[in-house]
Amino acid sequence: MRRGFISISRLLIVGVVIALVIAGCGGDWTERESQVTKVTGPLPAKSTAPAQPAESLDLGRIQHEGTPPQVGNTCPTGYDIKGAVNVVKFGEQMYLMPGSAKYDSATPQKCFASAEDAERAGYVPFE
């Protein structure tokens, strides 16, 4: 019985969506001048500039934005501060220092080398 109910409810939802789409255009599928975007002029020239060499990348900036956690919710060596999302406070980004009460159970989204790096990335200390 339950399986049949789910199939009927899905069919009903699809029907409602189709009806709303048709009602939104008034049932008239003809093309209107105001709906057409015309592109004129030549295509832009293809860039021939060489790719940016690795030496010119700002690795300091990348380092301060945090690094992804390793398998098992651990942070890599040197990045011991866990950046996590607080689901109780509606998605607030917080960071946890090693030794804090919830540190071991926290699931990090990013790991940071310092509290300053975490704060620069928009995370606040866990309270």
Q: Which DSSP string corresponds to 74-95? A: BPPTT--EEEEEETTTTTEEEE
- Of residues 21 and 7, the one with the higher pLDDT is 7
Residue 96 lies in a domain: yes
Which domain range does residue 89 map to? Answer: 63-125
Is pLDDT of 44 > 80?
A: no
Q: Is residue 2 part of a domain?
A: no
Does residue 51 sit within a domain? no
Residue 27 domain-assigned (yes or no): no
5 part of a folded domain: no
Q: Per-residue confidence at 115, pLDDT binned at 50, 70, 90? A: very high
Q: Specify if 4 maps to a domain.
A: no
pLDDT above 60 for 113: yes
The answer to whether position 87 is within a domain reads yes
SS3 content of the chain, % helix, strand, coil (to 5): 30, 15, 55
Whole-prediction pTM value?
0.49
Predicted local confidence at residue 98, as pLDDT: 92
| Structural domains counted in the chain | 1
In a domain, 19, yes or no: no
